[in-house]
Structure 1
Amino acid sequence: MNNKTILTLLLAFGSVSAFAQNAKPEDTEVWEPVPKVVTPGKTTAEAPSDAIVLFDGKNLNEWASADDNSKPAKWDVAGGALTVKKSEGGIVTKRKFTNYQLHVEWRVPANITGTGQGRGNSGIFLASIGKGDAGYELQVLDSYNNKTYVNGQAGSIYKQFPPLVNPTRKPGEWQTYDVIWTAPTFNEDGSVKTKAYVTAFLNGVLVQNHTELLGPTQYIGKPSYQKHGAAPIYLQAHGDPSEPLSFRNIWVREL
């Protein structure tokens, strides 16, 4: 190292030292914009003040038939819960969403029967982009001592990514999903600009950690993206022979 280099380093070190000596705590304080005040619920199940309540145990005013969006949802509402009515098909939100935080609780009956995928099967499609089961599915299934393929158990992004762990409770107990959904974006020509991401907690335990999706759910074959915009949330009526499952305390915060 020559004298010129040494002098340069000394001058630089001196400048940094002088800046550090003259720095104040206020230099790194940010005061604006001030975050909006949001009043949290009294419990984690209760919707915060800025949430859209999709189901509060009273009615299905926020939902429509998935088969015909002009018709009302006809699942059964009783005891603060809504229960799948397989003969009526799935239901979708009347509102469409892009990015959001979702809270939803679900329960399979204590007397559940069947095995594998035929045991309390349903799904929460975080964005429903067409007729039937077209969209991005977070699996709902009794996965308590119920063997099946791991990318089809509760907490999985169906047929894509298994959950990090299996924190499901026994049949008859309420299960809770808390989800962060980041919708995909597309270029004008339909090509993918940014992919979809899911972070999900099941019963307070992380099961999907900012997972990059491969595209919408495919029962058969590989997933691939297709251009779409804001989309409703869809609750599936799978039609398996098990006793029907129920949902409650559904709310969403747009992000």
Structure 2
Amino acid sequence: MKALYLLNTALFTALSLACIAQTKFKPEDTEFYEPKPRVVMNDAQVPNDAIILFDGKTLDKWESKNNPSQAAPWTVQDAVLTVNPSTGDIQTKEKFEDFQLHIEWKSPEKIKGEGQGRGNSGIFLQGLYEVQVLDNDDNPTYVNGQAGSIYKQRPPLVEVRADQDKWHRYDIIYKAPRFNKDGMLISKATVTILHNGVLVQNNTQIEGTTEYIGLPKLQAHGSGPIVLQDHGDLVHFRNIWIRPL
């Protein structure tokens, strides 16, 4: 019976391909006009459908991670957001799932320490998955902990240095993990990152939470915030916007 089934399937496939081969298509047979893509304008290098997370003036879109009822305790001056050491991480009030994120960062003017102590911060996607922020210049730290890495999981494809103005730009395209109604994993998160316009993560699979000690953990969750890390260094941020996808 199995052999007969396979034979019938092969014959059906061959006949179907033969019919397709004999069909005479017209150009319009493979054209469609609906639905039309939305029109998005790029105004001052910011898409007009983006949510501005930091406009250089206020932290209205942010809150303390440790105390979500409290305002974000970092410093805003001259259109730049700076970590206020020992005050804790800050996070967006709004939560996100799939998105395009643009964020610019700069290491402290005076960098102290070595390895992971050199201008350390991080950008946590959905509050769980860290894209590392670090001064890489002549820094012999572990490669899956340098700037552009998915922390403790994936090193960047290449090491990118800052421009003359010392600012770095991350453009992050992120697809969240999916879980079924019982909390079982359907697909892991993936991320693509351009660092100063250079590809450093190419549709990289994120294995789970980015742990400092131990292996990644997979936990069912929904949408989550963007979190900026207070690692004790005066790291600067500016021009932060996001496009939910």
TM-score (norm 2): 0.89
- Residue aligning to 1:254: 244
2:25 aligns with one of 15, 23, 28: 23
Q: Is the 8 A contact 1:104 1:177 kept in 2?
A: yes
The change in CA–CA distance for 1:222 and 1:52 in structure 2 (over 3 A counts) is same
- 1:17 Cα deviation after fit: 6.5
Q: Does 1:35 align with 2:47?
A: no
- What CA deviation, in whole Å up to 9, does each residue of 1:170-223 have, x standing for no partner? 696110000011111112332211111111111000111111111011111111
1:88-127 equivalences under 5 Å are 88-127=87-126
Structure 1 SS opposite 2:86:
helix
1:1-255 equivalences under 5 Å are 19=23, 22-43=24-45, 47-128=46-127, 135-169=128-162, 173-239=166-232, 242=233, 244-255=234-245
Q: Give distance in 2, aligned partners of 1:77 and 1:48.
A: 24
Structure 2 SS opposite 1:223:
coil
Q: Give distance in 1, aligned partners of 2:202 and 2:82.
A: 29
- 1:18 Cα deviation after fit: 5.1
Q: Give distance in 2, aligned partners of 1:171 and 1:215.
A: 35
Identity of matched residues, %: 54
Q: Give distance in 2, aligned partners of 1:70 and 1:143.
A: 35
- 1:42 Cα deviation after fit: 2.9
Q: Give distance in 1, aligned partners of 2:112 and 2:194.
A: 26
CA-based RMSD of the aligned residues comes to: 1.9
Q: How many residues align?
A: 231
Q: Give distance in 2, aligned partners of 1:85 and 1:110.
A: 15
TM-score (norm 1): 0.86
The change in CA–CA distance for 1:12 and 1:176 in structure 2 (over 3 A counts) is closer
Structure 2 SS opposite 1:228:
coil
- What CA deviation, in whole Å up to 9, does each residue of 1:107-163 have, x standing for no partner? 0134322211000000000111xxxxxx10000001122110000000000000000
